[in-house]
Structure 1
Amino acid sequence: MLTVETRHAIDPDAAKRMDTAELRRNFHLGELFRDGEIRLVYTHYDRMIVGGAVPAGAPLTLDHVKECGTASILDRREMAIVNVGEAGTVAAGGVTHALDRGDVLYLPLGSGPVTLDGKGRFYLLSAPAHRVHPARLIRLDEAAVVKLGAAETSNDRTIYQFVHPAVMTSCQLVVGYTRLHNGSVWNTMPAHLHDRRMEAYLYFDMKPEQRVFHFMGRPDETRHLVMKNEDAVVSPPWSIHCGAGTGSYTFIWAMAGDNVDYKDVEMVAMEDLR
């Protein structure tokens, strides 16, 4: 079963007038993972697609998506798939890839239908592409690793870069994830902006009772969304994107836009946050 929802782009002046329900309706992406379903959100932020697929004992095939305007979803797109569940497989382009928990699969433009199977819970990310790069399965020990923060500032974390220039070449997708270590809860703080790229977060590795407060909005007009396990959020280019949790967690970050430069950001001074 395939479900597709469309989210239109929202400007910062409109966002600052929204109440909690409106903010969640426009930026929060919930219930992406349902047994036996593929659930996609087609966003108008750099045409990024964010979604989830849970085979739950029977294969699921992702092929035609009306919103893309092509016969098959990857006819003019690339895709990254992150397995946040148990072992599973993804078949595309005549090759079957075995993904363990935490593995990331990159599929290029023209890969054809994508079939997902096994016990995996697959997080799907797709953006328009202009050329073909090799498909690649990237395991955790192949990711580029960056350590940031400190226990003293409650943001001791390790960043794993998968679909990233330090590891491989893509058209515009940049994907990785960040793990907060025990006792640390703050991610991406100090905050920053990147006007040339949008971003999406998926929070996972959380206990059912845990929550993350995801901060968004202009630096001088901040808002927050309360996130539970496997909730996602879309971050417009004009918005900060940072958060703090009630315990340690992991989040997947994915970007699309004008470049793939992970460091192309505008830092926000703490005194400028409101």
Structure 2
Amino acid sequence: MTTDQTQAPAIRVRGVEKSFGDLHVLRGVDLDVRAGSILALLGSNGAGKTTLVRILSTLLSADAGTVTVQGFDVATQAADVRRTISLTGQFAAVDEVLTGRENLVLVARLRHLKNPGAVADDLLARFSLTDAGDRRAGTYSGGMRRRLDIAMSLIGDPPVIVLDEPTTGLDPQSRIEVWQTVRALAAGGTTVLLTTQYLEEAEQLADRIAILHDGTILQNGTLAELKQLLPPATVEYVEKQPTLEDVFLALVTEAPTSTRKEA
């Protein structure tokens, strides 16, 4: 991971607003994601996570505010943004009729890469899928399909990858496999924006955590910084350290009524 704190963020979000009719989904979101880091965007269903992801990946236009990815403006330089970003949605987008290797080769050919077979073999090895490479993806476990999906997203070496709730619906073992993959991405220098509604996932993976509630960022910081937001407590006999769940519940409970959705 980069240690240059003066470097411009890989993703910068300023004052982003989005409404659908009378429903205000995003209400002036500000967010930075440092290059080579993992930021977890934590929020419950309906908080606005997927809407923000669609805006920064050029799939949806904001009503107000600006978003840049690797210095490119998503509104005016969409083609440049698409060349530098990869989006993995909530559900694995693999072709279950093809083998794992064929899925990777197909994407490599669509991206006009030289020697797509070598690209596929490299990614199969990188994601511990070599032994299953010649099996149909439809026979893969949930964790294997998700790892293949992420591998497909990395074809072309995008510097930024967005994972929208990547472990939704997975069993505990598959979740751990995906977590290992995400950690490896960041260790290799890839910037990761991870949306999740799982407190444990954010706590396990993220360098920084942004809590999104009713379209606004309630807090944004490291896990240690967020835990400091809770008032100190006197405990007899047993000292209990605050968890991310404690922080999240306290912030959501104390959120001003102005941030709540209008009826």
State TM-score, norm by structure 2.
0.31
Would you tell me which structure has more strand in proportion to its own residues? 1
Q: Using CA pairs under 8 Å that are at least 6 residues apart, name the structure with larger relative contact order, 1 or 2.
A: 2
Would you tell me which structure has more helix in proportion to its own residues? 2
Structure 1 or 2, whichever has the larger Rg, is: 2
State TM-score, norm by structure 1.
0.30
